[in-house]
DNA sequence: AAAACGTGGCC
DNA sequence: TGGCCAAGTTT
């Protein structure tokens, strides 16, 4: 096996030719000229990219940067507006922590992001991966950056057959040993690009991989089978009900969900806790009708079957729960609530 | 330390 | 079509 420094060189050479062009990125030539990316943009992109694909993030990132071009602007933003803009991207605790973090940086750190992994790690929403990534990418610090891509690449390169998550420490050690002292920002992005474009989860393109020769899994013909994972638990089914009410003037009856927990801080239709039964009292007395079709939605850890009730509400109605949103932007709803909205709207259309 | 926490694309 | 998976963090 060749040494780590030599392999890093080969990967960086590949990256110089094949680096993906992304809106939050500085390309290798710019970086070579001493240009570093805006830490705010790097931070925003890294939070959005947690457990989320580049394709899903791209438009959200562009929109956030246009609305809130710097950390001071974001810190001053209205919470509900930010949550609405995040709607659809998932893992909403990220958006809540995004605001907390922006306010700490803008309010206590003079608007300047810490330039060390340790300093970054102390901020809300920034864990070990994100701290290393921002330190490496925005400040060219030689920090190990270990995400799912890197774990997959290391599992294959070193033929680590221990299943995840048990193998995490071993993969982290291998990744740290491979991290070069030179061009750390480019290297961090290079390994992730390799994982995203060549060393992909299914049918990796080993034939054109810059690390094809030292790769032990490829030599053994088992690259596509790694990394191994522990068996997953089956997802239970939960039931729920959603009351989609529309007032005469077009306002919709919604409530803001509690800050913590599932869909925390997001808009949602009134309806009880999701569980073994779908029963809940309506938020206001009305002629609630059953559109006959339910919403099916799968979260990380359960399947949801959401029954719907829809009603036209009079101008003077006084709901016991929720409040009327005059000009609802459906895009402000998390996806499961958006599905309920779409179905309910069909039902209103049919009634008109 | 295991469980909670979203969503969309892919096969 | 249903399970797998993605630039993880928090509690």
Q: Each residue of A36-90: pLDDT tens digit? A: 999 999 999 999 999 999 999 999 999 999 999 999 999 999 999 999 999 999 9
A46 as an active site residue: the answer is yes
pLDDT of A278 reads 84
The superfamily CATH assigns to domain A237-351 is Nucleoside Triphosphate Pyrophosphohydrolase (3.90.79.10)
| Alpha helix stretches (DSSP H) within A34-167 | 39-49, 54-67, 71-75, 79-86, 93-108, 117-121, 128-139, 148-157
Average pLDDT of the segment spanning A224-247: 94
Topology given in CATH for the domain delimited by A4-225: Endonuclease III; domain 1 (1.10.340)
Check: CB of residue A313 under 8 Å from CB of residue A247.
Answer: yes
A198 pLDDT above the threshold of 90: yes
Instruction: Pull the structure tokens for residue A136.
Output: 């490496």
Confidence band of A350 (pLDDT split at 50, 70, 90): low
Instruction: Please say whether the beta carbons of A140 and A146 come within 8 A.
Output: no
CA A89, CA A65: separation in Å to the nearest integer? 16
The domain ranges of chain A are 4-225, 237-351
Q: How far apart are CA A292 and CA A109, in angstroms?
A: 54
Secondary structure element (H or E) that encloses residue A314, with its range? none
Q: Which residues contact A350 (CB under 8 A, 6 or more apart)?
A: none
Residue A269 to residue A345: CA distance in whole angstroms: 13
Judge if the beta carbon of A202 is closer than 7 A to nucleic acid strand B: yes
For a pLDDT cut of 70, what percent of chain A falls above it? 99
Among the listed residues A10, A46, A161, A255, the single catalytic one is: A46
Q: Do residues A43 and A134 make contact, with C-beta atoms less than 8 angstroms apart? A: yes
Does position A352 have pLDDT exceeding 60, yes or no? Answer: no
- List alpha helices for chain A, DSSP H: 4-18, 28-32, 39-49, 54-67, 71-75, 79-86, 93-108, 117-121, 128-139, 148-157, 168-178, 184-197, 216-220, 335-351
Percent of chain A whose predicted confidence (pLDDT) is above 90: 93
pLDDT at A349 over 80: no
Asked if A4-225 and A237-351 have one fold, the answer is no
Q: Is A100 exposed, middle or buried (0-12, 13-18, 19+ CB in 10 A)?
A: middle
Q: How many helices (H) and strands (E) does chain A have?
A: 14, 6
| Res. A351 pLDDT band, cuts 50 70 90 | very low
Contact A103, A112 (CB under 8 A): no
Name the average pLDDT for chain A. Answer: 95
Q: What is the pLDDT, as a whole number, of residue A232?
A: 87
The span from the CA of A299 to the CA of A303, in Å, is: 6
Q: Which residues touch strand C (CB under 7 A)?
A: A 20, 22, 25, 45-46, 49-54, 91, 93, 97, 124-131, 133, 147-149, 152, 189, 192-193, 195-196, 201, 229, 232, 234-235, 298, 300
**Tens of pLDDT along A73-84?**
999 999 999 999
Separation of A319 CA and B8 C1' (Å): 35
- Asked whether residue A273's C-beta has any atom of DNA/RNA strand B within 7 A, the reply is no
d(CA A93, CA A124): 10
Q: How many CB atoms lie within 10 A of CB A131?
A: 23
The per-residue pLDDT for A228 is 94
Question: Å between A239 CA and B1 C1'?
Answer: 29
Q: How far is the CA of A145 from the C1' of B2 (A)?
A: 24
Residue whose Cα is closest to the C1' of B10: A202
Region A296-312: mean pLDDT is 96
For the stretch A240-279, pLDDT in tens is: 999 999 999 999 999 999 999 999 999 999 998 999 888 8
Query: Which two three-digit tokens encode residue A72?
Result: 């001071």
Q: Are strands A237-247 and A303-313 parallel, antiparallel or unpaired?
A: parallel
């Amino acid at each position: 096996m060749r040494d780590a420094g030599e392999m890093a060189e080969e990967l960086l050479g590949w990256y110089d030719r094949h680096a993906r062009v992304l809106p939050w990125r500085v390309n290798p030539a710019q970086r070579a000229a001493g240009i570093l990316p805006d830490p705010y943009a790097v931070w925003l992109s890294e939070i959005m990219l947690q457990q989320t694909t580049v394709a899903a993030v791209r438009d959200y990132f562009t929109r956030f940067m246009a609305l809130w071009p710097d950390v001071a602007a974001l810190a001053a933003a209205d919470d509900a507006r930010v949550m609405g803009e995040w709607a659809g991207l998932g893992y909403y605790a990220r958006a809540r922590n995004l605001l907390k973090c922006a306010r700490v940086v803008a309010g206590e750190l003079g608007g300047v992001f810490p330039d060390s992994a340790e300093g970054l790690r102390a901020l809300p929403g920034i864990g070990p991966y994100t701290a290393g990534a921002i330190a490496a990418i925005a400040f060219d610090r030689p920090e190990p950056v270990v995400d799912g891509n890197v774990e997959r690449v290391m599992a294959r390169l070193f033929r680590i057959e221990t299943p995840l998550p048990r193998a995490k420490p071993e993969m982290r050690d291998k990744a740290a040993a491979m991290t070069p002292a030179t061009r750390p920002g480019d290297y961090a992005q290079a390994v992730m690009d390799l994982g995203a474009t060549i060393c992909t989860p299914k049918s990796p393109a080993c034939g054109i991989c810059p690390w094809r020769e030292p790769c032990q899994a490829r030599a053994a013909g088992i690259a596509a089978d790694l990394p191994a994972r522990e068996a997953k638990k089956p997802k239970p089914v939960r039931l729920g009900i959603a009351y989609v009410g529309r007032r005469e003037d077009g306002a919709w009856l919604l409530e803001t969900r509690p800050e913590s927990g599932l869909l925390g801080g997001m808009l949602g239709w009134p309806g009880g806790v999701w569980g073994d039964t779908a029963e809940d009292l309506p938020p206001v007395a009305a002629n609630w009708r059953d559109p006959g079709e339910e919403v099916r939605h799968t979260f990380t850890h359960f399947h949801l079957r959401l029954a719907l009730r829809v009603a036209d509400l009079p101008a003077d109605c006084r709901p016991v729960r929720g409040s009327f949103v005059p000009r609802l932007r459906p895009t402000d709803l998390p996806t499961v609530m958006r599905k309920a909205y779409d179905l309910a709207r069909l039902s209103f259309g049919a009634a008109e």
